[in-house]
Structures are given as C-alpha cells and as structure tokens.
C-alpha cells in the first residue's frame, strides 16, 4: 500500500508538471541566431569543436554571465542542426571531457544543452532545447562539481535538488516533460544555470567563494 501511494504521488507530480503544454512547431524561416552567432557557428566544420569560453577571460565572462533566449524549434533549420552537432563535438572533445555543456559556453546565447544521461543504459549524450526546471525536490544532495568554463576548480555544492521536473523541446520540436533524479539531475541543474548566467561557484558557501575568487577573476 505504501508503495502504491508513493507511486500515485509521483504520477500526479508528473501530470501536474506536464499540464502546461505549448506548441513550439513552426514554419518560421527567420534564423534564430544573430549575425555574429551565425558567423561563429559557420567558422568551422560541423564536426569541429568550438572554443570553450573561460571565466578567466574578461570578454568571455560577460557572455557567460548573460541570459540565453528561448527559441522556436524548427526541425528543418540547418544552422540549428550544425550548431547542435558542433556543441556535441565540443563536449565530447578530448580537451573537454565534459558530462554536459550549455550553448553560452561557446558564445551562443540560446537555450540549448547537451547532457550525459548517467541514468540511462549506455549513458548516452542527449540534446535539450528550451529546457527549464519547473519543480525542485526539497531533498538535496552533495556533489563535487567542476565546469569546462572554470579551469582547475572543483568544489562540493550542497544545495542541488535530488530530483527535478524538467520541461523541454526535443529535436523535432515536441514539448516534453520528465522527472530526473540523482547525479543526472545535478548535471541538468548545472547546465540550465548556465542559460541564466549562473555558475556552480555561485552555489558555494561564502568562505569557499572568497578562497577561490582570486583564481577565477
Ligand atoms: Zn559549467
């Protein structure tokens, strides 16, 4: 009985969270990318990684601290496909070896992230468009975090939720909703923070922030 109650709570949590479906399919022909972003995306081949912006570089840090925009997913948008591929190549690059990446980390202020799904068989990388977290569990977890944009710093955060309810658009523009748990939930929280100009170091206690301040500014 306890199990079924728990299960029905989870299901209702899920259904309530998914109630606000929106249609994101469009035939719009205008590019979602600015001229500067288009130039950056086309500056290399589709299988070539992009340069990862660093918080230690003043110009890069302005972009890393900026908010990214939502956009309407057009599955036929070739430039979006090219960028999605290049962002994947960047997180999979041997120089990066990340478990997730967000578009602003390569200078593109659009809500796009790649995440390694440690909660799925074979731990695949998956892309998410317009991701946002609509619910955070009160239960927290301690996690040792690092970031491709913050070299040589790894610290433990204590305020990441154990579970989150995620909404996003998939590659064909369908709006989806999913509950994510454990370490994978932390990767989503970390990468979605990037879309709002927030870095994992913002989650550290004041003392720790002070001690690493001189290294990253
Ligand atoms: Zn990061």
CA of 144 to the centre of ligand 1 (A): 12
What is the four-CA torsion angle of 180, 49, 147, 193, rounded to 10 degrees? -50
Six-digit token string for 1: 């009985």
Dihedral angle over CA of 95, 113, 39, 172, nearest 10:
130
Q: What mean pLDDT do residues 180-195 have?
A: 98
Q: Is 191 a catalytic residue?
A: yes
Ligand 1 centre to CA of 116 (Å) is 13
- Decide: 71 and 25 in contact? Cβ < 8 Å: no
The answer to pTM > 0.85 is yes
State pLDDT tens for residues 97-151.
799 999 999 999 999 999 999 999 999 999 999 999 999 999 999 999 999 999 9
- The answer to whether residues 88 and 128 touch, using CB atoms and an 8 Å cutoff, is no
Q: Is 36 helix (H, G, I), strand (E, B) or coil?
A: helix
Superfamily name and number for 2-216: Peptide deformylase (3.90.45.10)
pLDDT tens for 42-95 read 999 999 999 999 999 999 999 999 999 999 999 999 999 999 999 999 999 977
Active-site residue, selected from the candidate residues 28, 178, 191, 207: 191
> Ligand 1 centroid to 27 CA: how many Å?
33
Nearest to 50 by CA among 100, 103, 116: 103
């Amino acid at each position: 009985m306890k199990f079924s109650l728990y299960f029905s709570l989870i299901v209702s949590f899920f259904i309530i969270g998914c109630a606000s479906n929106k249609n994101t399919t469009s035939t719009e022909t205008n590019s979602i990318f600015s001229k500067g972003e288009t130039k950056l995306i086309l500056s290399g081949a589709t299988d070539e990684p992009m340069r990862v912006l660093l918080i230690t570089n003043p110009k890069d840090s302005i972009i890393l601290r900026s908010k990214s925009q939502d956009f309407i997913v057009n599955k036929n948008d070739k430039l979006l496909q090219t960028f999605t591929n290049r962002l994947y190549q960047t997180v999979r690059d041997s120089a990066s070896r990340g478990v997730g990446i967000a578009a602003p980390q390569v200078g593109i202020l659009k809500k796009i992230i790649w995440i390694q799904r440690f909660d799925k068989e074979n731990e695949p990388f998956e892309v998410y468009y317009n991701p946002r977290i609509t619910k955070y569990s009160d239960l927290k977890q301690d996690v040792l975090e690092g970031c491709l944009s913050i070299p040589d710093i790894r610290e433990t955060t204590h305020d990441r939720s154990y579970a989150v309810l995620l909404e996003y658009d998939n590659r064909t523009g369908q709006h989806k909703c999913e509950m994510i748990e454990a370490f994978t939930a932390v990767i989503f929280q970390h990468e979605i923070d990037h879309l709002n100009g927030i870095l994992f170091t913002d989650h550290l206690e004041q003392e720790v922030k002070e001690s690493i301040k001189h290294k990253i500014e």
